[in-house]
Structure 1
Amino acid sequence: MGGLGTYGSRTRGAALRGCGAALAALLLLTACSDGGEPTASGTSGSPPGTGSPSSPSSPSSPGGAAQPSPAQPSAGPSGFPLVPAVDEAKQPKNAAEARALLGRIALGQGALGPDVVRSTPFESDPDRWPVLDRDCVWQTAGLPADVLATRTQYFHIPAKGNRGRVRINTTVTIHHNREESGWETARAMEEVLRCPTQRLREGEELRKLWGGVLYLGEQMNSWTEDAFSESGEYVSTTGAGPGKGEAPQHYTWSQGQFGPVTIAVAIKGAPGYTPQELQQYVVQGTSALMVQAKQQLGKAAG
């Protein structure tokens, strides 16, 4: 869902099934921990996240087609499913409950490693929502009706030696139900198809974007109801010297869905880092946030 600049945190939703092979490459970078959740195997997203501020009046499924029932979750080493059933009694009923849940689905200091620190400002405006306009430029608007609460938090790896500053965003969005969170992913995929080049703000762009969605059970997706990934290049055209700008850097947004919740991690690379090095932060962040979402809303085994 692009955007690691002023409008850099987007959220996304579920159903267009394109570019699956591309996402499989992303998921190859993950392995399962003892608890059954994906972890970095030693190897990007602002996104961060943004959906459209409006939602269909009767979103039984994206695109009007019947949404397939979840595939049978595979079991982890413990024998418990990697994606447990959602306990509807635990789902937030209003904005206040959703904001409280946001406080329990978040990365703490040091969760992404000792090199990652909080940025200033650290959190997005809770009443604003990024929107990709008709000209493929990111703007902001008030929260849409299908979002109970959302929050983006900003981290970075400081520049050091011959390495530049890496920016990392995490976004958690809470909807009323699974259908609304599914629509968020579907809109994210539509945005990539509609705008493979997107302007974050003056002098900053995302280019050559491609994305893919894998439903639970498709290819290697056994960790989330819907896995969405978007990758491309981050380009700054405001630098000094010949060409007025830095060389394009790697950009990735990775998102997962569990019931009414979507979680996402986006990363904007910097000189001195390979895509493989950056991917470990994306995998680690999405893994930790998804574990927390399942702990908060999943049915207890037994």
Structure 2
Amino acid sequence: MGGLVDRSRGNAVLRACGCALAGLFLIAGCTADGTPKGGAASSPPGTPSGTGSPGASPPAAEPSGSTLLPMPALDESKQPRTVAEARDLLGRIIIAEQALGPEVVRSTPFESDPSRWPVLDEGCVWQTAGLPADVLATSTRYFHIPAGDGRGRVRISATVTVHHNREESGWETARSMEEVLRCPRQRLREGEELKNLWGGSFYLGEQMNGWTEDAFTETGEYVGAQDGGPYRYTWSQAQYGPVTVAIAARGAEGITEEAVSAFVVQGTSRMMLHAKQELGKAAG
């Protein structure tokens, strides 16, 4: 991976593109803290359903009474110190397929190798490597909505990474910003590419970001030898204390861009809610 960017410089460069994040949450019908209005994601036209009817079934709702959680102060005593503690915390934050809706199922493989870490090399090709020193634990889960009834397969992944502290998780977000600047075109694997990538970042309190310490979103197009395309690709990452959470979604034929964004928002906000519940100081 190339050298890290200065965070203030990276934010300044991406500020003009920062409306991507605000637009993402507006599309999905969310409140300022990133949770869906009324406790559930909206039902944009083209949202996949089990019967193949556009807009028939939105992603799953947040638990009743827990959708609006203010930004709590971090309780540093709850931060994991060991790999075992980090993996335990990670397991309580990452979502399962049920959190995204009844149409979403597990892919094979379902979970990433816990000892490996994705790295974007100098040629803008994604590789895997051993975990860096600043990562205690990370995991990615893979889901999809099966193709059928005139629509293609929608692929979704959820990632949680646990660092030692807030500074390290902040640098992870900085690296994400650097990657989209350095590589607006990236190869996932043979026959699969991301193109025309651009992104934006907002600290807590900037624009619509009232739900995470640092929010980053990346948008572009996905093209696959088997899946076709180009189709909508969106990555959304959020930070709370030593934890980052992220959702990536790739659209398909017959699926609207709004539907793809709704799944991204639903997954990211749910995992951020879990992180706040696990690491935040109790009210009162």
Q: Give the alignment of 1:196-235 within 5 angstroms.
A: 196-235=184-223
Match of 2:53 in 1: none
Q: Give the alignment of 1:162-181 within 5 angstroms.
A: 162-181=150-169
Match of 1:21 in 2: 19
Paired residue for 1:275, among 251, 254, 257? 257
Match of 1:10 in 2: none
Q: Give the alignment of 1:1-150 within 5 angstroms.
A: 16-17=10-11, 18=14, 19-29=17-27, 30-32=29-31, 38-39=35-36, 40-43=41-44, 82-150=70-138
TM-score (norm 1): 0.78
Equivalent residues of 1:14, 1:184 under 8 A apart = no
Considering fraction of residues, name the structure with more helix. Answer: 2
Evaluate the alpha carbon distance shift between residue 276 and residue 293 of structure 1 in structure 2; reply closer, same or farther with a 3 A threshold: same
Q: Which has the higher contact order (CA 8 A, sep 6+)?
A: 1
Alpha-carbon separation, structure 2, partners of 1:185 and 1:92: 20
Equivalent residues of 1:253, 1:264 under 8 A apart = yes
Aligned residues: 248
Q: Give the alignment of 1:146-161 within 5 angstroms.
A: 146-161=134-149
Q: Give the alignment of 1:246-261 within 5 angstroms.
A: 246-261=228-243
Equivalent residues of 1:92, 1:176 under 8 A apart = yes
Equivalent residues of 1:166, 1:267 under 8 A apart = yes
Residue 41 of structure 1 and its aligned partner are, at CA, apart by 3.4
Q: Secondary structure at the match of 1:32?
A: coil
Alpha-carbon separation, structure 1, partners of 2:241 and 2:233: 27
Which sections of structure 1, spanning at least 5 residues, go unmatched? 1-12, 44-76, 240-244
Percentage identity across paired residues of the two chains: 66
Equivalent residues of 1:118, 1:155 under 8 A apart = yes
Paired residue for 1:296, among 259, 274, 278? 278
Equivalent residues of 2:229, 2:252 under 8 A apart = no
Residue 292 of structure 1 and its aligned partner are, at CA, apart by 0.4
Letter in 2 for 1:184: E
Q: Secondary structure at the match of 1:182?
A: helix
Alpha-carbon separation, structure 2, partners of 1:171 and 1:119: 14
Alpha-carbon separation, structure 2, partners of 1:251 and 1:133: 20
Alpha-carbon separation, structure 2, partners of 1:32 and 1:232: 24
Residue 37 of structure 1 and its aligned partner are, at CA, apart by 5.4
